[in-house]
Amino acid sequence: MNVLLFGGFLGAGKTSLILSAAKFLVENNLTAQATNPAKPSLIIIENEVGETGIDDKILKANGLMVRELFSGCICCTLTSELTVTLNELYETYDPQWVIVEATGMTYPHRIAETIHTYGKGVENLKIMIVADAERWEELMEIVPGLVEGQIAKADLIFLNKIDCMHHEALAEIEKSLHHLNPAAQIHCVSAFRGINPEIWREAVWRNE
C-alpha cells in the first residue's frame, strides 16, 4: 500500500486537496484496475468532515472501484486505532493507495511513526501538510507549537489559499516554511482554483 497522510490545522483545506489528489490518481491511471470488482484500488479514510465532501461517485471513474470508508469516525489522535484499521484494510482489500485525513489537532509524524512500526503492507508513506496562507499569522500567534510541529516533519507542504494573499506576504510565509523544514517540497496552491496536475505528479510519483 502507498499511504498519503494529510495533515494541517482545521480549515486549511485538507479535504479539498484530498479530493484533488484522488481524482488525479484515478484520472491518470495511477490506480491499478482491481481483478476483483469488490476490491478497491483507492481507499480514503476521512477523519474531519470539511466543507467539501468526498464524492465517491466522482472517484468511480474509468471503471475503477473506489470506496470511502469510515468517514468521520476514525480519530487519528488514537494512532493505534488507525493502525489497526489500516492493517484490516491491507488484509481484506490490499489497496494500492490509501489516503488518510488526520485531524487538524494532531501531529501526523507521530501517526506515521506508529504506522511504520506496527503497520502491515505499507510500502511507502508520505506526510503531506496543508498550510493555511490566509490564516498563517493568526495561527502562528494562537497555536505556534502545533503548526511548527506539523510543518517540521512534513515530506511535502501545500501552502494553500494563495489566491487570498499578496505576493509579498506569500514570499514571507514561504521563507518561514523553508526555515521550519528545509528538506520538504513546498507547493503554493489554490484548491479553490484547482491544482496543477504536474504538482500531484511530483508529489506522488516517488510513491509508485
* Span 95-129, pLDDT tens digits: 888 988 888 888 999 989 989 999 999 999 999 99
Residue 203 half-sphere exposure, CB side, CA atoms within 13 Å?
Answer: 30
Q: Which domain holds residue 45?
A: 2-205
Residue 118 half-sphere exposure, CB side, CA atoms within 13 Å?
Answer: 13
User: Lowest-pLDDT range, 40-44, 66-70, 168-172?
Assistant: 66-70
Per-residue pLDDT at 55: 52
Per-residue pLDDT at 71: 44
Nearest Cα neighbor of 173 from 183, 84, 25, 161 is: 161
Whether 62 shows a pLDDT value over 50: the answer reads: no
pLDDT band at residue 63 under the 50/70/90 scheme = very low
What mean pLDDT comes out for the span 57-80?
A: 50
Burial class (CB in 10 A: 0-12, 13-18, 19+), 169: middle
What pTM value is reported for the model? 0.85
Q: How many angstroms from the chain centroid is the CA of residue 197?
A: 15
Degrees, nearest 5: CA angle 157-163-167? 80
Per-residue pLDDT at 122: 93
Whether 53 shows a pLDDT value over 80: the answer reads: no
Nearest Cα neighbor of 163 from 198, 135, 130, 191 is: 191
Q: Pull the grid cell for residue 113.
A: 511513526
Is the CB of residue 189 less than 8 Å from the CB of residue 162?
Answer: yes
* Cβ atoms < 10 Å from Cβ of 24: 17
If one counts the domains in the chain, the total is 1
What mean pLDDT comes out for the span 139-151?
A: 96
* Span 164-177, pLDDT tens digits: 999 999 999 999 99
What mean pLDDT comes out for the span 134-140?
A: 96
Q: Pull the grid cell for residue 103.
A: 485531524
Crossing angle of the two packed helices 79-92 and 108-118, in degrees rounded to 10: 50
Domain CATH number, residue 188: 3.40.50.300
User: Lowest-pLDDT range, 8-12, 26-30, 110-114, 200-204?
Assistant: 26-30
Q: Strands, E, within the chain: which ranges?
A: 2-7, 42-46, 66-69, 97-101, 124-132, 156-160, 185-188
